[in-house]
């Protein structure tokens, strides 16, 4: 993100910038279309999604930033199941509910793969101690973001194809929207400290000047109005070439497979870094003991059988990013007939790069074979488990 901000600011120094009061989001007047987005137009008088965002009522702020007593998983459970229904059967569902339209549009675009390519995450993104619910595409775009106000979910913003948001880290989102070939906007927005709204940090957009030429404009309000902005010396080509930094949030797919928190997963086996040795009777395995080695802990909250640690090697990558990997037993001491909560496994190893090098497999209590790649999140460095496609005999990561 630092790389992007430095690049972004170096370009913006070419323009004369004025101090402006921040508002929620870049302005778009029309509602997000579910199927046909050709009528989408930039707003002239209001902000994008402003009709979808409810300002906190008087007194709401006092509950934000105080200790959160509501269980966020329970508070968001109905919303998560509602979105799961939309994603699993997008063409059998209709909705004009704010927050649901962008998700439904993305699910219809993904078709049969929607439940594998879309997911959710419950995590504190604003830093106020109250987790947000993010719903979107595993590739990056967030279609809906909620926070809790007085223990109840409240929509913060909605994104769709022509008005999208991608998380950049540290509570910041990168916005990209367009209304026509001549009108395109890009900017950096951040969550307010209480997580209830987005505010503009910087916003660039293109528009036609009086001579009919495309110009780039800049402001710090998110407005699409050239009269409320400064002309930038940036060319349209430089504007379209902007490449912001950021990593996709580790969403849990609605299919129940794919990336999810390796500590708080829906599967019995979890993986985390081992930073302190306790009194448990560990099963120790050393796969690498050289420089930059680390130790991970594999635990299970229920009985599983035939657990193995795997070496993974990427054999093929398809155009859509699907990876086919070879999976072999990592060593003679890397297989256990049974694993329970009383038999944690400590593994010393190294993560050599971005591609998955290790995985695990086991049979759960129902005798179902589960296979996972162990990955390091580019978002926060935590460990992720990505499940191999259960419908494939080979080790395939969608």
Residues 360 and 391 both lie in one domain:
yes
How far is Cα 129 from Cα 123, in angstroms, rounded to an integer? 9
Report residue 43 as tokens: 């707003």
Residues 43 and 150 both lie in one domain:
yes
Q: How would residue 379 be classed by pLDDT, with cut points 50, 70 and 90? A: low
Residue at 11 is within a domain: yes
- Mean pLDDT score of the chain, rounded to an integer? 81
* Segment 78-100 mean pLDDT: 92
Q: Three-class SS of residue 218?
A: strand
How far is Cα 274 from Cα 347, in angstroms, rounded to an integer? 9
pLDDT in the model for residue 71? 83
Which of 206, 156, 211, 201 is closest to 181 using CA atoms?
Answer: 206
How far is Cα 108 from Cα 86, in angstroms, rounded to an integer? 9
**In angstroms, what CA-CA distances link 5 with 140, 189, 356, 359?**
19, 12, 29, 35
Residues 261 and 214 both lie in one domain:
no
Reported as a single tens digit per residue, the pLDDT across 170-186 is 999 999 998 787 899 99
Residues 374 and 226 both lie in one domain:
no
* Segment 109-114 mean pLDDT: 86
How far is Cα 222 from Cα 389, in angstroms, rounded to an integer? 42
* Segment 106-120 mean pLDDT: 88
Residue 98 pLDDT greater than 70, yes or no: yes
Contact 164, 158 (CB under 8 A): no
pLDDT in the model for residue 70? 67
Percentage with pLDDT > 70 across the chain:
78
How far is Cα 374 from Cα 347, in angstroms, rounded to an integer? 12
Q: What domain count does the chain have? A: 2
Residues 263 and 235 both lie in one domain:
no
How far is Cα 280 from Cα 117, in angstroms, rounded to an integer? 38
Boundary-marking domain end, from 208, 240, 272: 240
Identify any residues that bridge with 119 across adjacent strands, giving them in sequence order: 136, 253
How far is Cα 219 from Cα 23, in angstroms, rounded to an integer? 11
The most confident of the ranges 143-147, 248-252, 267-271 is 143-147
Residues 96 and 40 both lie in one domain:
yes
Non-local CB neighbours of 302 within 8 Å, separated by 6+ positions: 268, 340, 341, 364, 365
Reported as a single tens digit per residue, the pLDDT across 295-339 is 999 999 888 899 999 999 999 999 888 999 999 999 999 999 999
pLDDT in the model for residue 280? 74
- Look at phi and psi of residue 169 and say left if phi exceeds 0, alpha if psi is from -120 to 50, else beta: left
Residue 265 pLDDT greater than 60, yes or no: no
Reported as a single tens digit per residue, the pLDDT across 12-54 is 433 333 333 333 345 443 344 444 443 334 433 334 433 343 3
Residue at 339 is within a domain: yes
pLDDT in the model for residue 298? 95
User: Radius of gyration of the chain from Cα atoms?
Assistant: 23
Boundary-marking domain end, from 207, 240, 273: 240
Residue at 245 is within a domain: no
Residue at 388 is within a domain: yes
Residues 20 and 169 both lie in one domain:
yes
pLDDT in the model for residue 382? 84
CA angle 6, 8, 11 (to 5 degrees): 105
Residues 24 and 159 both lie in one domain:
yes
Reported as a single tens digit per residue, the pLDDT across 355-373 is 899 999 999 877 889 999 9
Q: Which domain holds residue 194?
A: 2-240
Residue at 267 is within a domain: yes
How far is Cα 121 from Cα 377, in angstroms, rounded to an integer? 14
Question: How many helices (H) does the chain have, and how many strands (E)?
Answer: 5, 23
How far is Cα 65 from Cα 126, in angstroms, rounded to an integer? 10
Boundary-marking domain end, from 240, 267, 296: 240
Contact 240, 204 (CB under 8 A): no
Which value, to the nearest 10 degrees, does the dihedral of the CA atoms of residues 28, 30, 35, 38 take?
-80
Which of 144, 196, 142 is closest to 166 using CA atoms?
Answer: 142
**pTM of model > 0.75:** no
Residue 93 pLDDT greater than 50, yes or no: yes
**In angstroms, what CA-CA distances link 378 with 189, 246, 257, 394?**
20, 9, 19, 26
Reported as a single tens digit per residue, the pLDDT across 177-234 is 987 878 999 999 999 999 999 999 999 999 988 888 899 999 999 999 999 999 999 9
CA angle 175, 23, 223 (to 5 degrees): 65
Question: What is the per-residue DSSP string for 43-86?
Answer: -SSS-TTGGG-PPPPTTGGGTTTS---S-HHHHHHHHHHHHHHH
| Chain centre to alpha carbon of residue 345 | 30
């Amino acid at each position: 993100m630092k790389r992007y901000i430095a690049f972004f600011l170096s370009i913006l120094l070419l323009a004369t910038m004025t101090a402006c009061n921040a508002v929620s989001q870049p302005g778009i007047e029309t509602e997000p279309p579910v199927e046909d987005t050709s009528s989408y137009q930039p707003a002239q008088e209001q902000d994008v999604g402003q009709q979808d965002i409810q300002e906190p009522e008087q007194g709401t702020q006092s509950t934000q930033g105080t200790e959160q007593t509501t269980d966020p998983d329970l508070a968001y459970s109905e919303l998560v199941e509602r979105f799961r229904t939309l994603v699993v059967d997008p063409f059998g569902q209709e909705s004009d509910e704010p927050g649901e339209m962008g998700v439904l549009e993305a699910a219809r675009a993904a078709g049969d793969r929607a439940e594998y390519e879309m997911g959710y995450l419950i995590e504190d993104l604003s830093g106020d101690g109250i987790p947000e619910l993010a719903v979107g595409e595993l590739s990056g775009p967030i279609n809906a973001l909620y926070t809790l106000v007085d223990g109840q979910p409240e929509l913060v913003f909605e994104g769709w194809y022509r008005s999208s948001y991608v998380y950049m880290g540290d509570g910041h989102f990168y916005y990209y929207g367009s209304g026509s070939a001549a009108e395109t906007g890009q900017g950096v927005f951040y969550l307010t400290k209480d997580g209830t709204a987005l505010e503009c940090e910087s916003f660039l957009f293109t528009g036609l000047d009086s001579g009919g030429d495309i110009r780039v404009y800049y402001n710090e309000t998110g407005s699409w109005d050239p009269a409320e902005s400064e002309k930038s010396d940036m060319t349209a080509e430089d504007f379209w070439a902007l490449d912001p930094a950021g990593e996709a949030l580790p969403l849990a797919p609605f299919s129940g497979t794919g990336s999810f928190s390796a500590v708080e997963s829906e599967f019995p086996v979890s993986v985390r870094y081992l930073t302190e040795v306790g009194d448990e009777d560990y099963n120790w395995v050393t796969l690498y003991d050289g420089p930059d080695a680390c130790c991970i802990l594999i635990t299970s909250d229920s009985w599983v059988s035939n657990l193995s640690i795997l070496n993974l090697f990427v054999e093929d990558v398809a155009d859509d990013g699907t990876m086919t990997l070879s999976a072999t037993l990592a060593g003679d001491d890397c297989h256990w007939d049974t694993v329970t909560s009383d038999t944690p496994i400590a593994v010393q190893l190294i993560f050599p790069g971005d591609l998955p090098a290790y995985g695990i497999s086991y049979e759960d209590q129902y005798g179902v074979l589960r296979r996972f790649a162990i990955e390091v999140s580019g978002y926060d460095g935590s460990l992720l488990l990505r499940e191999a496609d259960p419908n494939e005999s080979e080790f395939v990561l969608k």
